[in-house]
Structure 1
Amino acid sequence: MKSKVLAALVATMAVGATCAFAANPFVDVPSDSWAYKSVVELADAGIIQGVDGEHFQGQRNITRYEAAEMVAKAMAHMDKASVEQRALINKLADEFADELNNLGVRVSALENRVGNVKLTGDARVRYRYQKDNKENDNSWDYRVRLRANAMVNDRTKVTYGISSDSHAFANNGAADSENDIFTDIAKVDYNFGGSKNWALSVGRTDKYVIGGPHAYGYNYGDVFDRAELKYSGDNFMAIAGYGKFKEGSIAGGQEVTINGKKETIAGTKTAYGVIEGSFGNGTAIGAYYNSFNTSGYDYNGILGRGTELDYLWGAYASFNFGKDWNLIGNYERVNYNSNINSTVRGDEDSATVWLGRLTYGKAVMATPKTWDAWVEYLNAEDGASIGGSTNSWRWGTLDNIESWGAGIDYTFAKNAQFQVMQSFATKLKDGEGSDPEEQTRAQFVFAF
């Protein structure tokens, strides 16, 4: 690539530098040259420095490595560039992505540049089977999601996303009869004073997980409207927030008859907190608490419980050991304002669940031929599930069961992954009745 051609491109990225009184550093660029002003501006901005500090050598072919150095310097000044200039920097960064990575400049850092908007998304094709579950029996379905991320300034990031519902192929994709597209993420993230320690996030998130980032997410991991304050230190994290559930029976919206009058169940709100300590090598220990407000409605009556949700607390630990092993353990306890009134466990006002998962390896979406395999254990008392949209791969009623599960994730191409999960040795914990049927799930996930 001719250096004068690159100079003409990068000249549009001089990011406000002025050469009115700047000295020409190159002896081989005369003041009457067509490139004089651009070359001096770029040199004054620190984007180019010539061959030996004195000569520009405008007719010399430059290497891709040299071009990448110029792009890297332009990226460093990107916050002062115009929209058109940022677009050109993005194109050049894509062109020289390999050389920039070798220079230690991650092209993904462009995501955090002011004014840059990045579009991403994913698509999932899923199969689920459980013998006696007609709703999901022999079910193939699909879902597509799109996200837009934009840096408003060096402290503020806006994210907006839409998602389709999960549509069964058996329905012939009849989107006109369903609420097909909905907003599943619309939030603003703000770092105080440019600090990475304190952050405020307000709006809708697509995946609020009860318990935090390292918990299993047995009871909820889905769309959630909230305001959340987070502190992140080197070895400590704390989260406090308040919000409303948007998925599952806990989100309300069901029509019921109360005192002879039809009413719509109000959605459940929660105030929550998480604390977590990390100890290097990815090891973390945390605890969490959720206080629920069901607006006086006995929403759990929908599930036949005849009680009102009060609060939930739990604790978890995630340990990395060896090169490729990870072990997660999670305990959770749900409390109700009155007894569960269960025919299985009697008049009790709480229920607990134990979960554990051992994983070997790590399947990375961007890295082909990476994989992992895992095995997990679930032991849930009757009443442990609050009727939310679970973060687990399992579906349906997860109360009063003891079960094992296993799965494999394999990245067969860049941004393309195959996942398969299977339960086994599943049985009722207490009471009479037939043991629940095993669940099988397999899916392809594509990111773009």
Structure 2
Amino acid sequence: MKKTLVSALTTALVVGAASTTFAAANPFADVPADHWAYDAVAQLVQDGVVNGYSADGTFKGDQSMSRYEMAQIVAKAMAKSDAADNNNKALIEKLSAEFSDELANLGVRVANLEAKTDNVKWTGLIRYDWNTTNYEAEDGHREPETNNLKLRFTPSITINENWTGYSEIDYDVNPDETGADNNGATVSKIYAEGVYGKADIKLGRFGSFSDASHGLLFDDKVTGAELTYAPTEKWAVKATGGRIDAKGTAFQTAGKVKGNAYIPGGTISDINDDISVPYEADGLIPSSATYYGIEVLYKNGKMDAGVGYHAAGANHTLVGNGHDKYQVVDAGVGYAFDSNVKATVDYARGNEWANDRFSKDAYSIQVNYKGANAAQKGSWGAYVAYRKLSPIAAFQATYDHKEGVNEFNSLKGWEIGADYAWAKNIVSTFKFFTGKDTDKTVVQDKVTGVWSRVDFLF
């Protein structure tokens, strides 16, 4: 991102705060043009943490800034840090450390600098999920409902001016089931993130997302590395590589044999008898897969677009197609008609599955209206979507309604949803799905589902 984003923001924010109009060339400019602070503040603008766009919604000017001007923008960001996500909170903390002297002159108290011993910030949530999915397929119904409780802590640790450490610690409780797999604590993320100008680096176990197709293909944890480089404010390239959790995905069987019966104490085979793998009581084989992907992303005003290539391979022959690797290309485009309405169209295509059991294609068409803001009581949003998923082309899709009767991502149909902020930091979400299972081994393919969630954020 370029400092042109920041210079336009200065006009809207600093003029009001200091009653001063700055010329195109600032004689007091002492923040170098390649300083990381420009990109950091531009990211806060992009994510809506700081606003103050010009009247026609465009960015103008290419001026450098003084440290005093930059500090006034940082002060605005600090005032809204409670509503920011963890990444933006870390950016705000870095900026407040960099411009602490100027902030002090403005009368802004930087608590983490006054208390040097406290460089860890804790946020998190308490979450309750209730959902039910009904399959028409004989012997394929799941339990009528599922209840899940989660306590999540997300600490961020300031390491230095470039690096921040992050973690995500979950304690899950499923009152309908017992055992260590259903009740207990896990560290789902632990990674370090470094920002060097236009480059963003993640190392460790972090969340990754197929930005090119808005999550149609992938939204899960990766243990490895990710580099995002944005040479301009419009273009970015993201490269990711590491290991992913393959449990419950297309990288292994769903634990069914013909007649929906397990082979006791031995192996289980997929329904086409293409492969046999070690049997476990839950019918799934915990394993990991190698994953890497590269995406080219574009943003220009109201439009965003992207294209990507992704490959993943398991530690045994992949279920159903006899290969040791899935290769997927994906693409997507989004367009914001105004500040309230945005549409996205996404597509992905993978390689073949034996006997054409699953389609090689997946797609999603979605329209969003507004959206709940946890910091604003009464804010709300809604969406409608039509999707077709495939375990080949959408093996780790971001959606909540995706699994067919055999636990592959094979659903096709309509989904509507809404979210609402009942009070500050309390948000509820509701989703309804109706459609069918595209798995060709399923004869009675009708599927309906209800999914709901309440988040208490802190």
Instruction: Tell me what 2:355 maps to.
Output: 342
Between 114-123 and 251-260, report the one with greater CA deviation.
251-260
TM-score of the superposed pair, with normalisation by structure 1: 0.65
User: What is the alpha-carbon distance in structure 2 between the residues aligned to residue 262 and residue 105 of structure 1?
Assistant: 53
**Residues 419 and 444 in structure 1, CA contact (< 8 A), matched pair in contact too:** yes
**Residues 245 and 251 in structure 1, CA contact (< 8 A), matched pair in contact too:** no
1:436 is displaced (CA, Å) by: 2.5
Q: How many residues align?
A: 326
Instruction: Tell me what 1:221 maps to.
Output: 219
Higher alpha-carbon Rg: 1
Give the match's secondary structure for 1:106.
helix
- 1:23-79 CA-to-partner distances (Å, cap 9, x unmatched) read xxxxxxxxxxxxxxxxxxxxxxxxxxxxxxxxxxxxxxxxxxxxxxxxxxxxxxxxx
Instruction: Tell me what 1:187 maps to.
Output: 191
Task: Say which of 280, 290, 305 aligns to 1:285.
Answer: 305
Ranked by relative contact order (alpha carbons within 8 Å, sequence separation 6 or more), the top structure is 2
**Residues 287 and 316 in structure 1, CA contact (< 8 A), matched pair in contact too:** yes
1:291 is displaced (CA, Å) by: 2.0
- 1:269-297 CA-to-partner distances (Å, cap 9, x unmatched) read 1221111110113x2100111122324x1
Asked if 1:413 corresponds to 2:423, the answer is yes
User: What is the alpha-carbon distance in structure 2 between the residues aligned to residue 249 and residue 175 of structure 1?
Assistant: 18
Instruction: Letter of the 1:315 partner, please give it.
Output: A
**Residues 307 and 340 in structure 1, CA contact (< 8 A), matched pair in contact too:** no
Instruction: Tell me what 2:366 maps to.
Output: 357
Instruction: Tell me what 1:58 maps to.
Output: none
TM-score of the superposed pair, with normalisation by structure 2: 0.63
- The correspondence of residues 94-243 of structure 1 with structure 2, limited to 5 A, is 104=76, 106-107=78-79, 108=81, 111-112=93-94, 113=96, 116-132=119-135, 134-165=141-172, 167-171=173-177, 174=178, 178=182, 180-192=184-196, 195=197, 197-205=198-206, 207-209=207-209, 211-212=210-211, 215-232=213-230, 233-243=232-242
Distance 1:102 1:120, change over 3 A: closer
User: What is the alpha-carbon distance in structure 1 between the residues aligned to residue 319 and residue 456 of structure 2?
Assistant: 36
Give the match's secondary structure for 1:104.
helix
- 1:291-345 CA-to-partner distances (Å, cap 9, x unmatched) read 22324x12425xxx5554331110011110123101011100112xxx5123657
Distance 1:125 1:215, change over 3 A: same
Superposition CA RMSD, Å: 3.3
1:253 is displaced (CA, Å) by: 9.3
Distance 1:383 1:372, change over 3 A: same
- The correspondence of residues 297-446 of structure 1 with structure 2, limited to 5 A, is 297-301=316-320, 307-335=323-351, 339-342=352-355, 344=357, 351-380=360-389, 383-386=392-395, 388=396, 390-397=397-404, 399=409, 401-426=411-436, 428=438, 433-446=443-456
Instruction: Letter of the 2:426 partner, please give it.
Output: A
Distance 1:201 1:101, change over 3 A: closer
1:215 is displaced (CA, Å) by: 3.0
1:159 is displaced (CA, Å) by: 0.7
Instruction: Tell me what 2:42 maps to.
Output: none
**Residues 128 and 136 in structure 1, CA contact (< 8 A), matched pair in contact too:** no
> Identity over the aligned pairs, expressed in percent?
16
Distance 1:400 1:106, change over 3 A: closer
Structure 1 unaligned segments of length 5 or more: list them: 1-99
User: What is the alpha-carbon distance in structure 2 between the residues aligned to residue 217 and residue 106 of structure 1?
Assistant: 30
Structure 2 unaligned segments of length 5 or more: list them: 1-71, 82-88, 98-115, 254-265, 270-274, 280-284
Distance 1:440 1:332, change over 3 A: same
- 1:185-220 CA-to-partner distances (Å, cap 9, x unmatched) read 11111122xx2x112110011x322x22x6332343
1:169 is displaced (CA, Å) by: 2.4
